[in-house]
Amino acid sequence: MSETEIQQSIINALNRMTLVQKVSLLEFVNSMLSESGSEKPKGLLKFSGVFDDVTAREFEASLKDCEKIDKDGW
């Protein structure tokens, strides 16, 4: 695939995306291009180190119920 074909494919994909998808893609591209690493992480990484050990264990324990599947519910 040539450079021109790649660019055209990207443009075609952008034209089919919602605004929210375009913003997410732009953030992803910018993170790929960031060399300094000085930008603050987005998503769950921003919470890294926020919880103490006890709170983190309680949170983890509360998620255990979410791992159970009610086969009769489907």
Residue 51 lies in a domain: yes
Arithmetic mean of pLDDT over the chain: 80
**For residues 8-44, b (16+ Cβ closer than 10 Å) or e, as one string?**
eeeeeeeeeeeeeeeeeeeeeeeeeeeeeeeeeeeee
Backbone φ and ψ for 44, nearest 5 degrees, come out as -65, -25
Taking only the tens place, the pLDDT of each residue in 44-69 is 676 677 777 888 888 888 877 777 77
Spatial distance between the Cα atoms of 54 and 7, rounded to a whole number of angstroms:
50
- Local confidence band at 9 (pLDDT 50, 70, 90 cut-offs): very high
Residue 74 lies in a domain: no
Residue 52 lies in a domain: yes
Cβ neighbours of residue 42 closer than 8 Å, sequence gap 6 or more: 27
Domains identified in the chain, total number: 1
Range of the domain at 12: 3-68
